[in-house]
Amino acid sequence: PAGARPRRMANSKYEYVKDFELDDTLLPNCWIVVRIDGKGFTRFSELHKFEKPNDKRALDLMDACAKEVLNEFPDVRIAFGESDEYSFVLHKSAKLYGRRSSKIVSILVSCFSANYVRQWSNFFGNQPLSSTPMFDGRAILYPDVKTLRDYLTWRQVDTHINNQYNTCFWALVHQAGLSNAEAQATLKGTDTGAKNELLFSQFGINYTHLPEQFKKGSVIIRRHQEFVAKHQDDGTAVVRTRRVPVVMYCDIIKEQPFWSENADLLS
C-alpha cells in the first residue's frame, strides 16, 4: 500500500471475501530455499544472442541481481546460481512476512526480476532488452543442515552435468558442424570421462581449464568489507567494516575449505 491510505476498509458487507485468503505459513525452524527459474529462457537467450554454451554477460547479470536480493533481504544467508536459475537460502529463524510462503517467494522473484531489467545495460551495453525477462519461484523447506547441504550439492552437481553436456553439445554444433539432433545422438549415453575425452581429442578443450563460473556456478555469501565511513576534521579517513554480498565460484560440495571457513553460515 502507498501513501496516507487509511487501512480500515470499513465496508463490512464485502469484507467477508477476506475469509477466502487461506494461511500459507511455512513451518518454523526449517531452512527456506526459494528457487527461481527463468521462464522461456531458451527463447529469451536466442532472441538476445546469448553465447553458447555460456554467456558470461548473462551469468554476471544473474549474479548481480542475486546480490541485490541479499542486499534487500538479510534473512538470505547464501545463494547459489547456475544458468537461468538461482536458489536463495533463508535462515531457519527467518520471520520475513511472518513466513507466509507466497509473499516470500513473490517478493524475492520481484526483486530479482526488476533488477534484471535495471541492470541489463550494465552487462549488455547498448543491446536493447527486447522482451520481458520473467522468473517463477517456489519455496522448499529443509528441516536440518544435512538435507539443506544435500540440496546445494544437488544443484552444484547439476551445474557440472549440464555445463559439461552443453560444452560438448555446442562444440559439436558450432565447431564440428553437426545438427542439434546429431549432437544429441552423439552424446547419448556417454559418461563424464567420455565427454571430457571428446572435448579434448576432438576440440582440444581441457574441461578443467574452463572458467570456474561455468563449471561450479555462483555462490553468494556476505563478507566483511572495509569502507570509509567519514573523514575527520583533519582529513583522516574513518574506516569501518560492513558485510556485503560477494560472488564466489567454488566447490560447495566438500567440507573443505568452503564450509569449514564459513561455519557461521548455517549456524
Binding positions for a copy of itself, 225-264, rule CB under 8 A = none
Least distance from a copy of itself to the Cβ atom of residue 221, Å:
20
User: Which of 60, 72 has the CB closer to a copy of itself?
Assistant: 72
Least distance from a copy of itself to the Cβ atom of residue 231, Å:
25
H/E stretch holding 220: strand 218-231
Q: CB count, 10 Å around CB of 181?
A: 8
Least distance from a copy of itself to the Cβ atom of residue 254, Å:
14
What lies within 8 Å, CB to CB, of 187 at 6+ separation is: 165, 168, 169, 172, 195
- 263 vs 156: CA distance, rounded Å: 19
Least distance from a copy of itself to the Cβ atom of residue 204, Å:
21
Least distance from a copy of itself to the Cβ atom of residue 179, Å:
12
User: Which of 68, 265 has the CB closer to a copy of itself?
Assistant: 68
Q: Half-sphere exposure of residue 170, counting CA atoms within 13 Å on the CB side? A: 12
Of residues 244, 259, 263, the one with CA closest to residue 67: 244
Counting contacts by CB under 8 A, is residue 87 touching a copy of itself? Answer: no
Least distance from a copy of itself to the Cβ atom of residue 63, Å:
15
Which of 64, 76, 109, 199 binds a copy of itself (CB under 8 A)? It is 109
Which of 57, 60, 75, 153 binds a copy of itself (CB under 8 A)? It is 153
Counting contacts by CB under 8 A, is residue 42 touching a copy of itself? Answer: yes
What distances in angstroms separate CA 103 from CA 32, 97, 108, 145, one per listed residue? Answer: 13, 7, 9, 24
Total binding residues toward a copy of itself, as defined by CB under 8 A: 89
Window 175-234: residues binding a copy of itself (CB under 8 A): 180, 184
3-state SS track over 26-79: CCCCCEEEEEEEECCHHHHHHHCCCCCCCCHHHHHHHHHHHHHHHHHCCCEEEE
Backbone angles phi, psi at 230, to 5 degrees: -165, 175
Of residues 202, 199, 211, the one with CA closest to residue 167: 199
User: Which of 108, 221 has the CB closer to a copy of itself?
Assistant: 108
CB under 8 A: which stretch of 128-136, 213-221, 236-244, 254-262 binds a copy of itself?
128-136
CB under 8 A: which stretch of 133-141, 203-211, 217-225, 227-235 binds a copy of itself?
133-141
Binding mask of the shown chain, residues 22 to 41, with x at each position contacting a copy of itself by CB under 8 A: xxxx-xxxx-----xxxx-x
Counting contacts by CB under 8 A, is residue 140 touching a copy of itself? Answer: yes
Sheet with strand 31-38: strands edge to edge: 135-142, 31-38, 85-90, 76-82, 218-231, 237-248
E strands in 50-187:
76-82, 85-90, 135-142
CB under 8 A: which stretch of 79-87, 205-213, 219-227, 242-250 binds a copy of itself?
79-87
Counting contacts by CB under 8 A, is residue 266 touching a copy of itself? Answer: no
